[in-house]
Amino acid sequence: MAVQALCLALKIPMIMGGTFAGSLTVDLFRPNGGPCYRCVTDGLQSDLVEKLHPSKILSYESIEFIPKDNNPTGQSNVYLCSTCSNLMTSLMINYIFNDESIKDPKR
């Protein structure tokens, strides 16, 4: 959530991916509207959501107030993890080439 807030504050896209057992997810959160990670995630602590608002994230010298994740130990394999990273890279390249604000007429 802190990375998403920082991306929104700096107006840069955030690509997030992960694996667990035999599944993977890859998501793109655009900086110019649309749903953000905070918007599509249930069960977030409201005080933490307020502290990590994009309008406040750049004012902190430390984000040690963020609690440690209690993520379970994964059972992914190297093939699934490398596929996820390749999909994340592909999504970023696709975003860059289709971003109207950086279109180059020479391409």
Question: Model confidence over 63-95: pLDDT tens digits?
Answer: 999 988 777 677 788 899 999 999 999 999 988
Q: pLDDT by residue (tens digit) across 2-60? A: 999 999 999 988 999 988 888 999 998 888 777 787 878 888 888 988 999 999 999 99
Determine the longest span between alpha carbons in the chain, in angstroms.
48
Looking at residue 69, its pLDDT comes to: 78
